[in-house]
Chains A and B, each alone.
Chain A
Amino acid sequence: TQLLEQSPQFLSIQEGENLTVYCNSSSVFSSLQWYRQEPGEGPVLLVTVVTGGEVKKLKRLTFQFGDARKDSSLHITAAQTGDTGLYLCAGAEAAGNKLTFGGGTRVLVKP
């Protein structure tokens, strides 16, 4: 059983559409991070959220940390083909603890 469950596992949309991916857990995290991994490369850190209820925006990407710090979501507005990739969430249960990664959501944005 994964500590962090990501859904959906796979998402295929047309360019210009919006999408949301979710990261859920029964555990409380002191911080949660989102990464994007493109084929043939390592994951790249997009954002870190640390406060319950926090919302961070990165251009067309909006990240939200749940009030109870057990879940998070990533919303992409007007998706572009460059948004294609594997989106990973990762959480640390306490400061200084190693990260636990979710299974990832594979996003395909078609032109």
Chain B
Amino acid sequence: ETGVTQTPRHLVMGMTNKKSLKCEQHLGHNAMYWYKQSAKKPLELMFVYNFKEQTENNSVPSRFSPECPNSSHLFLHLHTLQPEDSALYLCASSQVEGAGYTFGSGTRLTVV
């Protein structure tokens, strides 16, 4: 248990499905992040939220839609994904941007 909980751990979805990934932290952190980790590629930053406000969208396709209803919860809504979107999606939080990150265990997503 790292303090950042991600659900589900594994997800298989079709290209026409709609699903959501959930991330929860009760560490009192103010910044939350979504990262994509594909095989043999560096961690790719997707979105940053600071005090519930989105401060970065790293040119992510609109089929990925983040939501941060409060400082403890972060969602990633998925729709009409492509097979190349299959990856490990990691959520992280930190006290402030640039401080040490606490990562969740990730959601292994497979798009079929």
Query: Separation in Å of the B91 CB from the closest CB of chain A?
Result: 8
Cα A48 to Cα B6 with chains together (Å): 24
Number of interface residues of A (CB under 8 A): 25
**CB-defined interface of A27-56 with B at 8 Å, one 1/0 digit per residue?**
000110101000011111100100000000
In the complex formed, the residue of B with least CB distance to A43 is B103
| B contact residues around A35 at 8 Å (CB) | 101, 103
Whether A40 pairs with B105 at a CB distance below 8 angstroms is: yes
Supposing A41-B106, A42-B103, A102-B42 touch, asked if A97 and B2 sit within 8 A by C-beta, the answer is no
Whether A99 pairs with B98 at a CB distance below 8 angstroms is: yes
Supposing A2-B42, A98-B48, A98-B56 touch, asked if A42 and B97 sit within 8 A by C-beta, the answer is no
Query: Separation in Å of the B36 CB from the closest CB of chain A?
Result: 12
Mark out the residues of chain B between 39 and 59 whose CB falls within 8 Å of any chain A CB in the assembled complex: 41-43, 45, 48, 56
Cα A28 to Cα B92 with chains together (Å): 24
| B contact residues around A43 at 8 Å (CB) | 43, 90, 101, 103
Q: Does B28 contact A (CB under 8 A)?
A: no
Cα A66 to Cα B33 with chains together (Å): 28
Cα A101 to Cα B90 with chains together (Å): 13
Query: Separation in Å of the B55 CB from the closest CB of chain A?
Result: 8
Identify which of A11-19, A57-65, A69-77, A88-96 touches chain B.
A88-96
| B contact residues around A103 at 8 Å (CB) | 41-42
| B contact residues around A45 at 8 Å (CB) | 100-102
Whether A101 pairs with B100 at a CB distance below 8 angstroms is: no
Whether A42 pairs with B45 at a CB distance below 8 angstroms is: no
Supposing A2-B42, A88-B43 touch, asked if A98 and B105 sit within 8 A by C-beta, the answer is no
| The 3 nearest A-B residue pairs measured at CB | A42-B103, A92-B98, A103-B42
